[in-house]
Amino acid sequence: MPKLKKIYQLIVNQIFIYSSFLLAGIIIYGCNTKSVQDKLPENQNEILSKVGIRQSDVDFTLVLESDTMSRSLAFYKHKDSSRYHHMNYQFYSEKEIWLKDELALVNELWSIAEDSIELNLKSLMLGYPLEYKDVLQNQIIAFRDNPEWNDINQEETFQNYKLMRDIMKTKSVYYPLDSLLETKGMAIQEFSTEKHGYVPREELKKLGFDETLKIPVPFMVWIGLKKN
């Protein structure tokens, strides 16, 4: 875990640099898109016509953008390596977001990347539970119904990060990510989290749950991967 956390920290430093650039607005590079477009079936051209590609010595990023939303799927590698080991998905939208819907797009962009770069993914980031309605529901149910978690004193519970991560993994709170990974020959190995809090009472009430529930939620989530 210490080695993985060190790698994650290096990745986070890179991701933060690109995050502000993405949210400020990204220029779509049509000339870069055309070389990838020829490799895809005709029925994917409508999606692909809106995809921009940005590449540097350490990242390969695919971008979709409109007036009301932006999506970015970035792959990261070390400067002296040819294989990309980390994937990060970011988005901005004025509407509520469901992971099950976003994964269809992630899969499309991921397939484009597979045709363009060499992947050896060890980890990924998709965002944190509060960003997705379905993931948040899964998170709430997983901890509300877990007897081991509920038997722990509340003060001790909040500090038990290992148990929290184990529950998130065993209860598949990011489902259906598991299914997508399976098609890629991978599975979730572990969760690593930082910046923890509780699900806000208003979110619990909005989703029809008891607003007095104490449901832990991380605000940074890395997902370690393994080959199936």
* 138 & 79 share domain: no
Which range marks the domain in which residue 196 is found?
Answer: 128-228
Beta-strand pair 118-125/83-93: parallel
Q: List, in order, residues 6 or more apart from 37 with CB less than 8 Å away.
A: 45, 48, 49
Domain termination residue (choose one: 108, 126, 144): 126
- Quote the number of domains for the chain: 2
Q: Which of 126, 96, 95, 130 is nearest to 204 (CA)?
A: 130
Domain termination residue (choose one: 126, 161, 190): 126
* 78 & 2 share domain: yes
How many helices, marked H, and strands, marked E, lie in the chain? 10, 7
* 137 & 97 share domain: no
Residue-by-residue pLDDT tens, the chain, 228 positions: 444 455 445 444 544 444 444 444 333 333 333 333 333 344 455 666 789 999 999 999 999 887 778 899 999 999 999 999 999 999 998 889 999 999 999 999 999 999 999 999 999 999 999 999 999 999 999 999 999 888 876 666 667 899 999 999 999 999 999 999 999 999 999 999 999 999 999 999 999 999 999 999 999 999 999 998
* 26 & 108 share domain: yes
Residue 100, judged by CB atoms within 10 A of its CB (0-12, 13-18, 19+), counts as middle
Q: Is the pTM value of this prediction over 0.85?
A: no
* 106 & 168 share domain: no
* 26 & 135 share domain: no
Domain termination residue (choose one: 126, 152, 182): 126
At 38, is the secondary structure helix, strand, or coil?
coil
